[in-house]
Structure 1
Amino acid sequence: MRKTIALNTEPHVIEVGPHELEFQPEVYGDEFVDAYVEMSEAQRAKGVDLENLDEGADPEALRKTMRAVRVFLARQMLPESAEFFLRLDVVHDGKVLESFRDADEAQAFANENPGARVRDALRLPTRVVAEMLEAVVELYGGGGRPTTPSSGSARRSRRGGTSGTAPSPSKASTPISGR
């Protein structure tokens, strides 16, 4: 038997408004899982649940979590797209004073310029970033979320009620029409 498994050679593209963000054709599983675990740990440390953002999360924790998501996504992108996606602009009165990649450096510069604030060069609604995350996890993670260490996993919920003694429906005889 001979089986051929193709490797993607063309970048994946996610279109966001007028922008095309290019992602690596293939990502090594261990690098993807490492990046995913780092993002998940950052999210848990800040107490933000990306599955349910309406639960009154602290705005600063949400900002930091969204930055961690952006860093994760950028690690899967081609360099030019990653640079644009991660760029932070320090803005005052609608004018970009300086651009940074590091959030702490950007914030320090903004603090030195009264009235200035830090914002993403590519401003996106939270739902769009979350949708991008879902698409990338499906693309590189094989359709499901990557396996994380068991310490990061929730225990399975106990089924309610008591175990019944009725026969399983699959063991009951099922009439088949036409026979």
Structure 2
Amino acid sequence: MANKSFAINKTPHVAEIGDDLKLEFEPEVMGDEFMDAYQLLRDTQRQSGVDLDDLSGVDGTDLRKVTRAVRVFLGGLMLPESAALMLRLDVVVDGGTVVESLNDLDAALARAEELEGARVVDGLRLPDRVLLELVTWVIELYSGGQRPPTQSVGSSTASRPAGTRGTGTSRSGGSTRVRGR
């Protein structure tokens, strides 16, 4: 009879950003929870038509929705204190004074419309490049290093093999003797 032991991570994963910021992620995430969160991110990306690998020419509204979906994806895999920081949206007025902090993008945008000169900013300001690096890292952590599969409609068709198959005869034009025939 064979025995095999499997380890379960109990220590949170920590993303260190800059000198002072540490974001803590769940030690383990169940496969279905991870896949549901990842699929929601992919659906938002697909609906907006935003390619995270090429952000040139992207409409600001669509980019904000996808960036928010990235933050929701990451926040769903974080410990509560880090998630609250990642998901916080600040409604700010003149000179950056915070009027209110919310977690819902639509509610924050509605609140900003009520106030003259107000706008919505992320409570935790991070470059998009860092957010995308966090997504890549989290996928490696929770999916064993491979991108999870997405729906087949989102997949591209396989590439053709390199080169072309020729139908011509060989240069020698002759046959080669094979020993034993």
TM bracket (short chain): 0.7 to 0.9
CA deviation string 1:90-123 (max 9, x = no partner): 0112110000000000011100001010000001
5 Å-filtered alignment, 1:25-104, equals 25-54=27-56, 56-93=57-94, 94-104=96-106
| RMSD value, Cα | 1.3
For 2:156, give the aligned amino acid: A
CA deviation string 1:53-73 (max 9, x = no partner): 23x111211111010011001
Deviation at 1:164, TM superposition (A): 5.2
CA contact (8 A) 1:39 1:69 kept: yes
Secondary structure of the residue that 1:13 maps to in structure 2? strand
Query: What is the match of residue 171 of structure 1?
Result: none
Q: 2-side partners of 1:97 and 1:89: how far apart?
A: 7
Query: What is the match of residue 141 of structure 1?
Result: 143
Query: What is the match of residue 130 of structure 2?
Result: 128
For 1:150, give the aligned amino acid: S
Secondary structure of the residue that 1:119 maps to in structure 2? strand
Structure 2 gap ranges (5+):
168-181
Give the TM-score normalised by the residue count of structure 2: 0.87
The one of 118, 121, 146 aligned to 2:120: 118
**Over alpha carbons, which structure has the higher Rg?**
2
Query: What is the match of residue 6 of structure 2?
Result: 5
Is structure 2 residue 16 aligned with structure 1 residue 15? Answer: yes
Secondary structure of the residue that 2:83 maps to in structure 1? helix
Q: 1-side partners of 2:123 and 2:35: how far apart?
A: 27
Structure 1 gap ranges (5+):
166-179
Runs of 4+ in 1 over 3 A off after TM superposition: none
CA deviation string 1:20-41 (max 9, x = no partner): 1110000001110111011001
Query: What is the match of residue 157 of structure 1?
Result: 159
Q: 2-side partners of 1:69 and 1:92: how far apart?
A: 25
Larger mean CA deviation between 7-16 and 156-165 belongs to: 156-165
What percentage of residue pairs aligned between the two structures are identical?
57
